[in-house]
Each structure stands twice: as C-alpha cells, then as structure tokens.
Amino acid sequence: MTSAARLDALLRPQLAALKERSLHRLRRVLEGPQGPEITLEGRRYLNFSSNDYLGLAAHPALAEAARRGLEEYGTGSGAAHLITGHSRAHHAFEEELAAFTGRERALLFSTGYMANLGVASALLKRGDRVLEDRLNHASLLDAGLLSGARFARYAHADVTDLRAHLGVTSGSTLVMTDGVFSMDGDVAPLPELSRAAEAAGAFLMVDDAHGFGVLGAHGRGSLEHHGLSPDQVPILMGTLGKACGGFGAFVAGSEVVVESLIQGARTYIYTTAIPPALAEAGRAALKLLQSEPWRRDKLRSLIARFRAGAAELGLKLMPSETAIQPLLVGESVAALKLADALRQQGILAVAIRPPTVPAGSARLRLTLTATHTEAQVDRLLDALRQGGRG
C-alpha cells in the first residue's frame, strides 16, 4: 500500500464517524454577491446566515474604491508590511481606524484569527497568564493555548469566576474576551471585566469582530455600547469582513502596544500584507459606517421585530439583542432537520453543531442585516409557523 493510500485509510473512518454523528460539514457554492437574497448552486434563497450585518459586502462604493485601488496598486501587495508591502492605502486606513476607535494607533492584519494569534504571541511569554471566557471564539482560545503562557478559562460571562482566577495569578496577565459572542449573540459584561482586570493589575483585550460597526451610537462597537475608554480596555481587535463588508482585521491601542506588535507579532511579520485595493475598500466602508447611521437603526428595528414574532410563536431564542439570533434546537440531527425544512421553503439558515457549540446546544444561527426588509423577516417567521420548526 502506498503512503497516500495509507493516509486515506487512516482518515476515512474519521470522516465516516462525523457523518454518523451528524457532524459532517458541507460547502455550498455561492453564485453572485452576498445579500439578503443569494443564489446557491442554482437556487435562490432568502439568506439569514450572513455576517454582512450592515449590508456593505456588495455596496457599490466599496467596489468602486477597490477598483481604484487595483488601478493604482495592482492586484497584490507583493510582500509583508515590513518588507515592501506596506502601501499608502494601508497606512491611511490604519490612521483612520485609529481615529475612529479613539486610539493612538491601529495595525492591519490579514484576518481576525491572525490578529488574535499575533497579540498573544507578541505580548505574552512563558510565566505569564492568559484568562479567557469559556465561550470565546476559537481564534482567541487558540491564541491563548499557543502563546506559551499559562492558560485558563473562566465560566461564560462570569466575573466572579474571573476574579477567582485573577486572585492566583503571577507575572503579566492578559484577559481575552469576545465583545459579542459569535454563537450566542450576547454582549460580554465588559465594564465588570474591566474593573476586575484593573483591580488585579491585569490587562483586558476585546475581540469585537461581531460588535464593531454594529453596536454603539456611532458604530464603534461593544466598547462604545458600554461607554468604555481606551484606558479601560487597552487592546481592541476588530474585523473588516463582517459589518465592514470587506476583508482583514485590525488591532488598535497605544503607540507602545502597536509598536510592540509590529516588532513581535509573528502573524504580522511573516505574512504578506492584504491587497491595497482591499484596504481602499475598507476605507470606503469606514466612511459609510459614519455617514449612514440608518443602517444600525434599521438593524435594531428588525431585531426587535423578529424577537417579538418569535416570542409569539414560542420559539426558544437565546437572550441576544444583537444581529445574531440563535434558535436553540438541542441535538445535531434535529438542527439539521430544521435547517432542511426551512431550505425547502427557500430560506437559508445554517445549523451550527458541536464542536463549534457545546454538545446538546445545536442551533440555527439566524443573522439579520440592515438590507433585510420587514417582509423578509415576516417570511422567516411565517416559515417557522408553517412547520419550519421541524
């Protein structure tokens, strides 16, 4: 038997086991742009499974900015930021992100995953500690585990449990949390977390991937939502592929923090910079965040409409006031059955199963966007009323 055949023989039973447990994942081919309605493999669906919260992913202003960027800079950046890949577009975008978030500096990363890994690798060392919410995104958990620091998780959104962990720390301690939890949709108790970290001499980092652009009066995210300053949360990470409709991520903080990341974040130093054209698209998105607050207002209105309708139907929604509205089902088989029932009615609502969520908490992760209409939200509720509940 060849080496390739032996490898296949090793992996094939593992894939079969995933299918048997209803945990096997499938990709579906998208045809055309993101939007409230999309075409997947030749069929049109009403889409409630997108992170395009403000409806900017297909906005013509972003496309035009990217087109101009392509004409000026070409397709790729050609190198890492510290070689020759740091363009004027990158630099201007970082300055604008810093100003928007009220920080001294911001630093672009290729993805939120790489940003989180970069922060942990640059700011933590052996002997330090990293404390994380049990329901943090995988990128935060991986960042903590791979940092070399001593790693511990506290109970979800439980400040008392965090304080107990903080009470036994030594060396530098970094507390890492999502601002909005990606699978539950709830907002972290950031004021209390900040006070606990400050009292223990620890530092707080917030991954605001699902809050940035959406929460707060001006879209500055979960920190603005809670009225927190850069002094209270010294490290902020935000992504550009969700509310901003583009690609990439950033970390914002003080001059010293960002310079330390430039010197020590391996996922920044040793990777090619994102294409400058995408930085230009991000700049256009940032302008729209500031000039079109109606998008956040409409999103909030649709969230309220959906939750009110779901309550009338007796649906088991999780306690979320954000664009992420998880419908708790329980077992993976039942979640898949529910998703399929909705799909038969032309509605896309992807089932989320372990290990992404804890065993027994499979759900449909329904997401609303500013470009949905009230009629589309009502159609989703009607589909659930007419038997989509499985």
Active site residues: 182, 210, 242
Phi-psi region for residue 241, left (φ > 0), alpha (ψ -120 to 50) or beta? Answer: alpha
Length of the chain: 390
Cβ pair 204, 197 in contact under 8 A: yes
Instruction: Give the amino acid at 204.
Output: L
Burial degree of 62 (CB within 10 A; 0-12, 13-18, 19+): buried
d(Cα 337, Cα 33) in Å, to the nearest integer? 27
Least Cα distance to 183 among 223, 216, 141, 137 occurs for 137
Instruction: Quote the CA–CA distance of 166 and 175 in Å, as a whole number.
Output: 9
- Please give the C-alpha separations between residue 348 and each of 40, 50, 136, 270, 322, in angstroms, as whole numbers: 10, 10, 25, 38, 19
**Side-chain-facing half-sphere of 42: CA atoms under 13 Å:** 0
Are 296 and 154 a contacting pair, CB within 8 Å?
A: no
